[in-house]
């Protein structure tokens, strides 16, 4: 952060009067102090915002109210007073997500894959296995997992979850209201399949995030990656998942 601040100072100095944080004044004491020291004649203000406790970044960002913000990578060395990297992830802003499911035999052994990408360019990936399942169940399981994650991770208002499953999208956006009216039965009166997962996805405590359809195996980067994760888990193959330690 300090190096970036100095680069910005050098970049802006030819354009006007620059005021910048000094030292590592980037916490709940340093940021207000830096703001209070801003000269009236300043054309530009550069303020460093950091965190080593949960909940710090949001109020400090609101205090600074920047016109432009630069987000830097977060590494395990920055963990500070967070219990683990997942807790640190909850302070970051997610901007994209993708999910997919796979099944060998359908029904048969299955797997699901998911990823979440953050504004600073980092990503985290997840996967799971079920010994006897279907492709549709794995699609639902992947989406449910990501939505549960978003209960504790900050995300951009424009975020979507990419999926190649029209079953998932149609179920969430078209079919579910009628299923519920009919007591979780289809138009033909048969019980809705995968009711346990559909009911879990209908939980009002889950965040409302739009699903975005992408065509499978079309070269879309995120879809291809979660497909590879899902297939690897379904076949019991090892696959390296990204986390904050190996971004």
- Is 205 marked active-site? no
Contact, 59 vs 32, CB < 8 A?
Answer: no
Which DSSP helix (H) or strand (E) runs through 156? none
Place of tokens 């060395």: 77
Confirm whether 217 is a catalytic residue: yes
Do residues 112 and 133 lie in contact, with contact meaning Cβ atoms separated by under 8 Å?
A: no
Catalytic residue among 101, 111, 127, 171: 101
Q: How many CB atoms lie within 10 A of CB 137?
A: 21
Residue 101: active-site member: yes
227 is catalytic: yes
Q: Could you tell me how far CA 226 lies from the centroid of its own chain?
A: 14
**Catalytic-labelled residue, pool 127, 164, 171, 222:** 164
Q: Give me the catalytic one of 48, 56, 139, 222.
A: 139
- What is the Cα–Cα distance from 133 to 102, expressed in whole angstroms? 9
**Catalytic pick from 48, 123, 222, 227?**
227
User: 171: which residues sit within 8 A by CB, 6+ positions away?
Assistant: 140, 198, 201
Is there a catalytic annotation at residue 125? no
From 48, 56, 91, 100, active-site residue:
100
Residue 139 appears among annotated catalytic residues: yes
- Asked whether the beta carbons of 46 and 34 are under 8 A apart, the reply is no
Q: Which residues have CB under 8 Å from 105's CB, separation 6+? A: none
Whether the Cβ atoms of residue 161 and residue 100 lie closer than 8 Å to each other: no
Q: Which residues have a catalytic role annotated?
A: 100-101, 139, 164, 217, 227
């Amino acid at each position: 952060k300090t190096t970036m601040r100095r680069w910005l100072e050098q970049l802006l100095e030819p354009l006007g009067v620059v005021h910048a944080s000094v030292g590592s004044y980037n916490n709940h004491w340093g940021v207000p102090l830096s703001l209070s020291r801003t000269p009236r004649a300043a054309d530009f203000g550069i303020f460093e915002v950091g965190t080593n406790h949960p909940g710090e970044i949001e109020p400090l960002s609101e205090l600074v109210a920047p016109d432009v913000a630069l987000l830097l990578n977060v590494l395990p060395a920055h963990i500070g007073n967070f219990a683990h990297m997942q807790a640190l992830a909850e302070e970051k802003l997610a901007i994209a997500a993708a999910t997919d499911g796979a099944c060998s035999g359908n029904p048969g052994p299955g797997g699901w894959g998911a990823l979440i990408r953050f504004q600073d360019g980092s990503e985290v990936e997840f996967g799971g296995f079920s010994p006897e399942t279907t492709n549709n169940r794995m699609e639902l399981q992947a989406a449910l997992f990501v939505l549960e994650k978003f209960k504790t991770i900050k995300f951009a208002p424009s975020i979507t979850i990419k999926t190649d499953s029209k079953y998932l999208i149609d179920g969430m956006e078209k079919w579910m209201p009628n299923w519920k009216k009919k007591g979780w039965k289809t138009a033909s009166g048969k019980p809705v399949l995968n009711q346990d997962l559909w009911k879990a996805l209908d939980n009002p405590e889950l965040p409302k995030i739009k699903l975005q359809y992408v065509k499978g195996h079309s070269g879309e980067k995120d879809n291809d990656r979660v497909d590879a994760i899902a297939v690897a888990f379904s076949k019991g193959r090892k696959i390296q998942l990204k986390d904050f330690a190996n971004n």
